[in-house]
Each structure stands twice: as C-alpha cells, then as structure tokens.
A and B are shown apart, each in its own frame.
Chain A
Amino acid sequence: MKLITAVIKPFKLDDVREALSQIGVQGITVTEVKGFGRQKGHTELYRGAEYVVDFLPKIKLEVAVKADLVDQTIEAIAGAAQTGKIGDGKIFVTSLEQIIRIRTGETGESAI
C-alpha cells in the first residue's frame, strides 16, 4: 500500500478529484496549505509597509492506494493538475505501513 501526497494549485482540485474518481479512487483527504518550490514570491505593500508574499496558497491531497494502482493515480493527478506554468506542484509517494478502518476495525488493503 502506498500513500500518495500531492501539492497542487487550488483551482485544480475539482479536476483532480474528477480524474481520481474515474480510476476508482474512493477517498481522499484535502488540506489548505501554503508553500513555494522554485517559484519565487513577491513583495506587496500594506498601508505603505512592505511585506514579502513568499508562501503561496496550495492544496495538499492525500490518497491511500494499493501498490498496483500507484502509476495510474500519479498519471491521473499529474494530468489533471498540470497547467504548464510555474507552480504546478509535486507528487510524493511513500510506503504505508498499516491502514485501519475505524468503524469496522478492518486492516490492510480491505481498509482502503
């Protein structure tokens, strides 16, 4: 089992969600985050005082999948989230040691 974490542009969330449900992914967790990669920030003025806007709003989504669905999931996310412009985001794949469904107590792949 793998945990796929993706940081994407906020307005791409609906497209990514659509693409994921089309390949059979049933659950995702979404958080509003801020961050930057190589995309630099810029300065703004508030009542004459400068402040640096380093951190840009992004959406982080996390989805747990069986190992054999990983490549399709990556393709779905990347395809839906890409704009070609700077700041599109990143996808991280990590190993999931254990999953438990709280309601029933199921573990492992049947808990996905």
Chain B
Amino acid sequence: MENEIFQLQYALDTFYFLVCGALVMWMAAGFAMLEAGLVRSKNTVEILTKNVTLFAVACTMYMVCGYAIMYGGDYLLSSITGDGVAGAEEPATYAPSADFFFQVVFVATAKSIVSGAVAERMKLFAFLAFAVVMTGFIYPMEGSWTWGGNDVFGVYNLGDLGFLDFAGSGIVHMAGAAAALAGVIMVGSRKGKYGPNGEVHAFPGANLPLATLGTFILWLGWFGFNGGSVLATASVESANAVAVVFMNTNAAAAGGCLAALVTAKFLFGKADLTMALNGCLAGLVAITAGPDTPTALLATAFGAIGGVLVVFSIVTLDKLKIDDPVGAISVHGVVGLLGLLLVPVTNGDASFSGQIIGALTIFGWVFGVSLVVFGAIKAVMGLRVSEEEEYEGSDLSECGMEAYPEFTQ
C-alpha cells in the first residue's frame, strides 16, 4: 500500500513537473509574439527566426553540456536513462528526465531575453553564435553556483550566505538581462534612434495586438515558471505551496500592470499600452524570486513596485542611450534585481547581504563573459548588419522574406 502511494506521488509529481515545463516552453511563444509586435515590420521575420532558433539552440546545448555543468552528471545526458539516474544517491521522487525538461526551458527563457534587446540591428547568426555559448556555458556556470549549490570558483557558497531565488528573478531574468546589456553595448543603438542633442526618436512597434497576445501568453506560462519551481505537488504541503505561488504570481502581474499604466499616464499624459504590457511582466519578474511567502496583497504591492520601476527604467535607459526596443533590460534586469531584494522582506531564510552578493556574482559573471564573447564574435564575423541593410530591414537582408508581404498573388 505504501509502495502504491509512493508510485502515485512519483507519477503526480512527474506529471506536474512536465506540465509546468510545457507551460514555460509556451513562454517562448509569448516572447516571440511580444517582440514581433514591438519591432518594426521590416524586422519581424528576423526576430521570429531568432526566437525559434534560440529555443532550439538552448535545448540542444543544454543537453550537450549545459545540464552537466550546472548539476553534475555526464555530458550528452548519458547518465540519465529512462529508469532513473545511474549512480544516484537517493531514489528520486520524480523522473530525472522531467528534471532536465523543466530546467532546459528555463535556459531558453534566459536566452530569449537577449533577443528583444538587440533587435533590429544584430546579425542573426552572430546572435545564434552567442546563444550557443550562453546556453552551453555562461548560464550553466552561474546556475551551478545557485540552484546547483556549488561554490563560486571554490571561494564562497551563495546558499550558505543566505542567497535565495525561488524561481529565478536573478538566476534567469537578471542573468538574461545582463547578457542583453552586454549585447546592446557591443552592438550599439539603432541608426536614428538618438539625436545629437539628446533627443530620443520613437520607432513604434508594428503590431500591438501581437505584443498584447505575447504578454498574456507569458503571463500564462509564468504559472508554470513559478508554480513548477515548487518542485512537487503530491502532498498537502506542496499542493498548498503551489496554490499560493499561482495566486501570488497572478496578483503580482496585476499589480505591475496597473502601476505601470498609472505611471505612464502620469508621465506621458495618456495610457501607453506598451508600458502596461511591460508592467505586467515586471510584476511577474518581481515576484519570481519569492512567490511562496508573501500574502496576496503584498504580492500585488511587490508587482506594483516593479511596475513603477520599469517605466522609469525604460525612460532612463533611453536617456543613457542604451537602446532596448522591447524594454528587456528594464523588465528582467532592473526588476530582476528588485525581485531578489524583496525576498528577505517576507522570507527569513534569505538575507539582504546574501541577495546582493548573489546578484553581484550573477551579474558580474554573465555581463563580463558576455562582453568578451560578443567582442570575439564582433571581431570574427561582425555583430551588426550594415547601415543599408538596417535601413532596408533585416527581414530582407538576413532572411530574404517579408513578414507582411503586399502585392502577392
């Protein structure tokens, strides 16, 4: 009887893990639609291609070596069999392949944060070359120091210092934004975006319905992102935790959306849909480091802080001439850091110093190595399309097709 209950638990936990992983995979569609909606039509095919292929690169590289670097085990997942992990110390409570599946979709999420920030001017294959390194090495390394529990180059241990990041505000989102920032600095701003006297020129997105759809898809997928990070559901305790996480994740998104909308109305005089969309996501990122401990009201408030912060961050980055067409660095980086710092407010197991050291470690590593890798790619094959190609649109120069063709038969 006990064995039967264990079997049921194992099956339910595995099932839950897999479904949550599938929901996080669905976030890739969210990113693709959001970014396609916020770039100009002449660059739409290219960003869609980037989104589809980076996901494939992430899944492959993480299988080849990323997972092994992050959690130990053999390369090419050769130690994971259908029955379990060879040589594992304790019997697992869910299928090991499910663990890989859940982890791999997180890698892809971190990577896709970069694609929006460097949109409209980075070469497709330069971006993919970076994706190979980021998903096979950069992310797994910082992942091994955090969720992997390893010492940082043998010097200190983040877990021991009180670093806690439930679903990855820092590990996934801020890391992605750090790489994005490195990319934006190395590739430069879009031609014509900034004027000589500090003017910022608007490049309105081509398809706001797609951007909105993308945001809602991300919101839905986030339930898997945070909910799955409970890592179990087959007990009263974990089921309760899952429910709290879902509730708080949702509350934070709502708080972020409203706060961003009100902030935009206050700053610009009218409602700015794109800011409201970024606000939803900012709320989600803000709660991701700690969705299990706050009350629903506090979760809403945390999301709202993220929503206000993201609007100011977007405007500030433009003033600093850091060109981010979709606000990725603001949503995932600035608010990712906020998310980390909010954890100790309701969770006694985390400390502010631990969060800060963790944030600095993740940011320092990812930003620094990304700068080097982007620099190397720049030297070898060039990062940016030519000025004429940028003017015509990367859809024609990089992909040879239009997203919204007219004059077809």
Contact = CB atoms under 8 A, between A and B. Distances in A.
Interface string A40-72: 000011111111000000000000000000000
Closest 5 CB pairs of A and B: A46-B202, A51-B202, A49-B200, A49-B202, A48-B315
A49 B318 contact: yes
Output the residue of A45, A46, A48, A50 with the most chain B CB within 10 A. A48
Interface residues of A, number: 8
Interface of A: 44-51
Interface residues on B, range: 10 to 19
B270 interface: yes
Interface in B307-331: 314-315, 318, 327
Contact of A46 (B199, B267, B269, B272): B272
A70 to B, nearest CB: 32
Interface string B259-280: 0000000011110101100000
Contacts of B275: 47
A49 to B, nearest CB: 4
A50 B315 CA distance: 12
Contacts of B269: 45
A47 B275 CA distance: 7
Contacts of A45: 202, 268-270, 272
A45 B270 CA distance: 8
B280 to A, nearest CB: 15
Nearest to A45: B268
Contacts of B268: 45, 48
Interface string B193-227: 00000011111100000000000000000000000
Contacts of B204: 46, 51
A48 B274 contact: no
Nearest to A48: B315
B203 to A, nearest CB: 8
A47 B201 contact: no
Interface string B155-180: 00000000000000000000000000
Interface in B324-359: 327
Contacts of B200: 48-50
A49 B195 CA distance: 11
B217 to A, nearest CB: 21
A51 to B, nearest CB: 4
A69 B268 CA distance: 51
Contacts of B274: 46-47
A68 B327 CA distance: 60
Interface in B181-200: 199-200
A51 B202 CA distance: 6
Nearest to B327: A47
Output the residue of A45, A46, A47, A50 with the most chain B CB within 10 A. A47
A51 B327 contact: no
Nearest to B205: A46
Contacts of A50: 199-200, 202
Nearest to B314: A47
Nearest to B269: A45
A77 to B, nearest CB: 27
B40 to A, nearest CB: 12
A14 to B, nearest CB: 23
B318 A48 contact: yes
A7 to B, nearest CB: 21
Contacts of B199: 50
28 contacts: A44-B202, A44-B270, A45-B202, A45-B269, A45-B270, A46-B202, A46-B203, A46-B272, A46-B274, A47-B272, A47-B275, A47-B314, A47-B327, A48-B200, A48-B267, A48-B268, A48-B314, A48-B315, A48-B318, A49-B200, A49-B201, A49-B202, A49-B318, A50-B199, A50-B200, A50-B202, A51-B201, A51-B202
A9 to B, nearest CB: 23
B316 to A, nearest CB: 9
Contacts of B315: 47-48
A37 B399 CA distance: 39
